[in-house]
Structure 1
Amino acid sequence: MNKRDFLKSLAITSAAGITSIETLANRLGQFHDFPADKLATNEDYWSIIRSGYKLKGDYINLENGYYCFLPEQTLNRYLEKIKEINYQGSWYFRTVQWENKDKTAARLAQVFGGSPDELAITRNTTESLDIIISGYPWQKGDEAIYAHQDYGSIKNMFELAARRHGIINKIIDIPLHPENDEEIVKAYEVAITPQTKLIMLSHMINITGQILPVKKIAQMAHSYGVEVMVDGAHCIAHFDFKIDELDCDYYACSLHKWLSVPLGAGLLYAKKEHISKIWPLLAPYELDHSNIKNLNHTGTHPVATDLAINDALDYFEAIGAKRKEERLRYLQRYWSDQVRGLPRILLNTPIDPDRSCGIANVGIEGIEPNQMAKSLLEEYKIYTVGINYAGVYGCRITPNIYTSTAELDSFVKALKEMSQN
Structure 2
Amino acid sequence: MKKRAFLKNLALTGIASTASFKALSETMEKYQHIPEKDLAKDEDFWAKIREGYRLKPDYINLENGYYCFIPQETLEGYISIIREINYQGSWYFRTVQWENKDKAAARLAKMFGGTPDEVAITRNATESLDIIISGYPWQKGDEAIFAEQDYGSIKNMFELASRRHGIVNKIVDIPLHPQSDDEIVKIYENAITPNTKLIMASHMINITGQILPVKKICDMAHSHGVEVMLDGAHCIAHFDFRIDELNCDYYACSLHKWLSVPIGAGLLYVKKEKIKQVWPLMAPYELDHPNIKNLNHTGTHPVATDLAINNAIDYFEKIGAKRKEERLRYLQFYWSDKVRNIPGIRLNTPSDPARCCGIANVGIEGMPPSEMAKSLLEKYGIYTVGIDSAGVVGCRITPNIYTSLAELDIFVEALKELAKV
Change (3 A) 1:169 1:342: same
**Structure 1 residue 19: deviation in Å?**
4.8
Distance of 1:19 and 1:151 partners within structure 2: 40
Identical amino acids, percent of aligned pairs:
76
Alignment of 1:36-115 (within 5 A): 36-115=36-115
Q: Which residue of 1 aligns with 2:226?
A: 226
Partner of 1:32: 32
Q: Is the 8 A contact 1:29 1:318 kept in 2?
A: no
Residue 376 of structure 1 corresponds to 376
TM-score by length of 1: 0.95
Corresponding position of 2:362: 362
Provide the residue aligned with 1:278 in structure 2. 278
Amino acid paired to 2:323:
R
For the residue of structure 1 that corresponds to 2:323, the secondary structure is helix
1:400 matched residue in structure 2: 400
Q: Which amino acid aligns with 1:352?
A: D
List per-residue Cα deviations over 1:252-293 (Å, max 9, x = no partner): 000000000000000000000000000000000000000000
For 1:175, the aligned partner's letter is P
Task: Give yes or no for contact 1:19–1:52 (8 Å, CA) kept in 2.
Answer: no
CA distance in 2, matches of 1:417, 1:400: 24
**Structure 1 residue 20 displacement after superposition:** 2.3
Residue deviations 1:2-24, cap 9 Å, x none?
xxxxxxxxxxxxxxxx9522331
Shift of 1:347: 0.1
Query: Structure 2 counterpart of 1:149, which letter?
Result: Q
CA displacement, residues 116-167 of structure 1 (integer Å, 9 cap, x when unaligned): 0000000000000000000000000000000000000000000000000000
Query: What residue identity is the alignment partner of 2:304?
Result: A
Instruction: Tell me how far apart the structure 2 counterparts of residues 42 and 187 of structure 1 sit (CA, whole Å).
Output: 40
Alignment deviations for residues 2-59 of structure 1 (CA, whole Å, 9 cap, x no partner): xxxxxxxxxxxxxxxx952233123212322210000000100001110010000000
Q: Which residue of structure 1 aligns with residue 195 of structure 2?
A: 195
Q: Deviations over 1:158-187 (max 9, x none)?
A: 000000000000000001000000000000
AA in 2 matched with 1:111: M
CA contact (8 A) 1:120 1:269 kept: yes
User: Aligned partners of 1:296 and 1:24: how far apart in 2?
Assistant: 35
Q: Give secondary structure in 2 for the equivalent of 1:261.
A: coil
Q: Which residue matches 1:166?
A: 166
CA shift digits 1:175-211 (9 cap, x unpaired): 1000000000000000000000000000000000000
Q: Deviations over 1:49-79 (max 9, x none)?
A: 1001000000000000000000111000000
Structure 2: runs of 5 or more not aligned: 1-17
Counterpart in the other structure of 1:308: 308
Cα distance in 2, alignment partners of residues 31 and 245 from structure 1: 30
Going from structure 1 to structure 2, the CA distance change for 1:19 and 1:371 (only over 3 Å counts) comes to farther
Counterpart for residue 150 of structure 2: 150
User: Which residue does 2:209 correspond to in 1?
Assistant: 209
Q: Secondary structure of the residue that 1:199 maps to in structure 2?
A: strand
Find the residue that maps to 2:251 and give its secondary structure: strand
Residue type at the aligned position of 1:164 = R
CA distance in 2, matches of 1:346, 1:352: 16
- Aligned counterpart, 2:293: 293
Determine the C-alpha separation between the residues in 1 that align with 2:232 and 2:328: 17
The number of equivalent residue pairs is 404
In the alignment, what sits opposite 1:15?
Answer: none
The secondary structure found in structure 2 opposite 1:346 is strand
Specify the SS of the correspondent of 2:229: strand
- Verify the 8 A CA contact 1:21 1:314 in the aligned structure 2: no
**Structure 1 residue runs of 4 or more that deviate by more than 6 Å after TM superposition:** none
Deviations 1:231-262 (A, max 9, x none): 00000000000000000000000000000000
C-alpha root-mean-square deviation of aligned residues, in Å?
0.8
Deviations 1:289-343 (A, max 9, x none): 0000000001000000000000000000000000000000000000000000101
Give the secondary-structure state (helix, strand or coil) at the position aligned to 1:395.
strand
Instruction: Give the residue type in structure 2 aligned to 1:299.
Output: G
- Tell me the equivalent position of 2:333: 333
For 1:29 and 1:415, locate their aligned partners in 2 and report how far apart those are by CA, in whole Å: 38
Give the whole-Å Cα distance in 1 for the aligned partners of 2:30 and 2:94.
43
Aligned to 1:141: 141
CA distance in 1, matches of 2:26, 2:290: 41
Inter-partner Cα distance in structure 2 for 1:148 and 1:30: 46
Q: Distance in 2 between matches of 1:29 and 1:134?
A: 47
